[in-house]
Amino acid sequence: MTLLEKVKANLILEHSADDELLQLYISASVSYAESYQHLTENYYTDHQMPPTTEQAVIMLSSHFYESRDGSTGGFFSDNVQAGQQVWNTVNLLLRLDRDWKV
């Protein structure tokens, strides 16, 4: 299953009208993951993505999609700090596979 398919499953999205938009969000999320983990740009093009990083990318891509109108949709939407909760969770997941060298 591709990342696009996994993000769409996470969003419970069955149409393909937004696939191009979702792919942009996935690319941005992968780029964020590589930067946060101190990896080279396009690292995950040539290397397998660990499951925790993949989950972070799925969550972040979904958040970008659900929040594209400035709202905080999704699982944490009933909380005023919804956006921050998503970022905290994503960063915790990414930290597990981070390259800690300085």
The pLDDT score that the predictor gives to residue 71 is: 62
Spatial separation of the C-alpha atoms in residues 29 and 49, rounded to whole Å: 13
Does a structural domain hold residue 12? yes
**Each residue's pLDDT tens digit, 78-99:** 566 777 888 899 999 999 998 8
16 domain-assigned? yes
Q: Does residue 102 lie in a domain region?
A: no
DSSP tag of 12: T
Residue 17 lies in a domain: yes
Sign of CA dihedral 34, 35, 39, 43: positive
> Of all helices (H) and strands (E), which one includes residue 30?
helix 19-36
Q: What pLDDT is recorded for position 100?
A: 80
- Sign, Cα dihedral of 11, 14, 20, 23: positive
101 domain-assigned? no
Q: Quick check: is 66 in a domain?
A: yes
Domains in the chain: how many in total?
Answer: 1
List pLDDT tens digits, range 25-83: 999 999 999 999 999 999 999 999 999 999 999 999 999 998 887 665 555 555 667 77
Q: Is residue 100 part of a domain?
A: no
Domain interval for residue 89 = 3-95
In tens, the pLDDT along 58-70 reads 999 999 998 887 6
Q: Write the CATH number for 44.
A: 1.10.3230
